[in-house]
Amino acid sequence: MRNTLPAAAAILLSLGVPGSAHRLDEYLQATIISVEKDHVQAFMRLIPGVAVTAIVIPSIDTNGDGIISDTERQSYAQRVLGDLSLSIDGHPLKLRLGPVGGTGIGEMKEGLGEIRIEFTADLPRGNGSGRRLIFENHHQSRIAAYLVNCLVPRNKAIQVTAQNRNEDQSYYQLDYVQAGSRSDPRASLGAIALLFSAGLVLLLRLRARSGVLPRMTANELLEDKSKC
């Protein structure tokens, strides 16, 4: 399809449409992912080039009446979701379709139309603080031009550590750490420190009762700990 520019130009000329202002032989699919503590939300914009509308429009306007009904748009969005995959730490996630919107066929024929899709997925709790989200998009791969990015997480406890993609961005891997997770090393260290402090105080109190150390020393030590 990448070599269809001459054909695309011919189509445009036949339509009386100048090619210079239009997306041509690509189906741009731009996804922006937002990672939250317990779910992932994604926003997709699908923009067919004017030379690929002959492929894309019939797959949306399935009854061919020249109008994209809400039902057709929803149905198409579900099919798009079927071509996506999202996993966390190797476990596939179930995608839930959110709001779907977009322009009409007229705009699409001019290379200006788009379909907007939102979807979400719940995130199970992880076994560690480090997490790996993988997003794959194989929708209309022969004509697709993919873009994938993630928003800077609003939740400060989530820090992105790496993003990796393949050349055409059909594969996207997001690594992040989430403070406060069950096995977060920082949380684990805190718990160990707390247990150690409690044990130490208990030991000191027992020893104070047995006269090895004055009681005040243990309290002072406890106060010092609380300042840490």
Partner 1 sequence: MRRLSTRRFCALVSICLSLEPAIAQTTTARIVKAGNAFLATLDEKQRQTVTFAFDDEKQRQRWSNLPTSFVQRGGISLKQMNAPQRDAALALVSSALSPRGFEKVEQIMEGDEVLKSGEGNNPMFGKDLYFISLLGKPSEKDPWMLQFGGHHLALNITIAGEQGILTPTLTGAQPGLFTKDGKTVRPLGQESDKAFALLSALDEKQRKQAILGYRLVDLVLGPGQDGKTIQPEGLKASAMNESQRAMLVGLISEWANIIHESAAAARMAEIKAGLDETWFAWSGPATVTPGKNIAAYYRIQGPKLVIEYAPQRLGGDPSMHIHTMYRDPTNDYGRKAPAK
**What does the binding site for partner 1 look like in residue numbers (CB under 8 A)?**
18-24, 26, 28, 30, 32, 49, 110, 112, 145, 147, 149-152, 160, 163, 165-169
Greatest CA separation for the chain? 101
User: CA of 103: how far to CAs of 57, 108, 110, 148, 213, in Å?
Assistant: 12, 7, 11, 22, 79
Q: How far is the CB of 86 from partner 1 (least distance, A)?
A: 17
- C-beta of residue 72 within 8 angstroms of C-beta of residue 78: no
Q: Which is nearer to partner 1, 62 or 163 (CB)?
A: 163
User: Hey, how many other C-beta atoms are within 10 angstroms of the C-beta on 161?
Assistant: 11
Q: How far is the CB of 100 from partner 1 (least distance, A)?
A: 16
- C-beta of residue 22 within 8 angstroms of C-beta of residue 12: yes
Q: Measure the CA angle with vertex 150, ends 90 and 158; round to 5°.
A: 70
Q: In sequence order, what are the beta bridge partners of 65?
A: none
Q: Residue 94: name the closest of 130, 129, 119 by CA.
A: 119
Q: Which is nearer to partner 1, 83 or 114 (CB)?
A: 114
Q: How far is the CB of 153 from partner 1 (least distance, A)?
A: 8
Q: Which is nearer to partner 1, 49 or 126 (CB)?
A: 49
Q: How far is the CB of 166 from partner 1 (least distance, A)?
A: 7
DSSP state of 156: T
Q: Which is nearer to partner 1, 150 or 177 (CB)?
A: 150
Q: Which is nearer to partner 1, 50 or 218 (CB)?
A: 50
Q: How far is the CB of 88 from partner 1 (least distance, A)?
A: 17
Q: Which is nearer to partner 1, 18 or 90 (CB)?
A: 18
Q: Which amino acid is at 101?
A: G
The tokens 């990672």 sit on which residue?
Answer: 35
Q: How far is the CB of 74 from partner 1 (least distance, A)?
A: 22
